[in-house]
Amino acid sequence: MARDIHKAPFDEGTKAKLSIFQDYLKEWLPVFLAKKEIYWNTINVFDFFAGPGSDSKGNKGTPLIILEELTPYIANITQKNLNVNLYFNEYNKAKQEELKSKLQTEDENLKPYSIEIESLDFKDSFEKQFPKMGNKNCANLLFLDQNGIKHISEEVFSKITNLKRTDFLFFISSSTIKRFSEHPNITQHIKLSPEEIEKTPYHKIHRLMLDYYRSLIPNTKEYYLASFSLRKNAGVYGLIFGSGHVLGIEKFLTTCWNIDPERGEANFDIDDDRIMPGQADLFTGEVRKPKKVDLFEKELKEKIINRELKNDREIYLFTITNGFTPIHTRKVISKLIADKKIAKCSLTLSNKICKANAILTDIKFN
């Protein structure tokens, strides 16, 4: 029987997960609530596994985090006449009632957003709310903190990734897949061969899950996925993030690199590099880099020099689809210019370069 995480203080893995969610929410909300131009007047936030709102010590869960992050935008919501809808679902009836009591306040009717709290099975809850996600003039954020692996089926994943203006974060118990790869309860939900799972190191299993979900997206579809691995006690879990817009994935990657400055990918040494921050190489004297960073920099340099990446848009997209941010790429570009491998240039290495009217800058060689 799964441990009830709400009957004890959140462990470090859960706190890391909530920190990522909160940091991304800080990035996501102002895009829709603080800009001068309003493109979508309805903002929906869906939390399908909401819990009671906090742990046994009062540490905030996702529902209370959402309300906390909305507070600075109360005036914006009112002044711009925005429709902000919060949906919380908690299957456990007792936890749902506890959540209700925490969210109900005396000034509830004065708040410029709506709150709906239900107690349904995930499938019923998702099917009921799905039509709202497809409405015109709305933007959606979905958080699916499933206890296990079964809820985010290929069908559900396809539905979500075909929505417009929708970002999602879902939690998955990757180590369960590693431990029980041949069990029918695993194979019916995750279409990976037991052999492929078996050959993947335990601490890298979440990377395999990211690749699996990437394989479900058609090559013709522009969609971006990233992940963050979490070690909780003896298990490896993880978050999968998805967005149909480069701005969404850039903001999520920025959040991940703020939490894990070495690799932007985990709350532990996922590649077993055993590098201390600032540690110098014994032979070269240079600061040692994690293997992931070193390989990215080498590949990026090669692709630029071999003219496989010809302009700033191609370089930017290569950066974010490999799980890095423009900060990393700018260092590489500066080094190539300093070494006179390419001509001095000013590149737009941000999501702005992907706009339809963006002016591209080609890489020139000395």
Question: Which residue segments constitute the domains of the chain, with CATH numbers given?
Answer: 5-259 (3.40.50.150), 275-366 (1.10.10)
Q: Quick one: which of 314, 331, 320 has its CA closest to 250?
A: 320
Half-sphere CA count of 295, side-chain side, radius 13 A: 7
Q: pLDDT (tens digit, 9 = 90+) per residue, 75-96?
A: 999 999 999 999 999 999 999 9
pLDDT of residue 205: 81
Model confidence pLDDT, tens digit, residues 264-316? 887 777 666 555 555 545 444 454 567 888 899 999 999 999 999 999 999 99
Q: Which residues of the chain have a pLDDT value below 50?
A: 1-2, 106, 280, 282-285, 287
Q: Are β-strands 224-232 and 166-172 bridged in parallel, bridged antiparallel, or unpaired?
A: unpaired
Helices 326-338 and 291-305, axial angle in degrees (round to 10): 50
The confidence score (pLDDT) of residue 118 equals 96
- Exposed (0-12), middle (13-18) or buried (19+): which is 289, by Cβ within 10 Å? middle
Model pTM greater than 0.75?
yes
CA dihedral 162, 165, 171, 172 (to 10 degrees): 20
Give just the sign of the alpha carbon dihedral 361, 300, 203, 197: positive
- Antiparallel, parallel or unpaired: β 235-243 and 113-118: unpaired
pLDDT score, position 269: 72
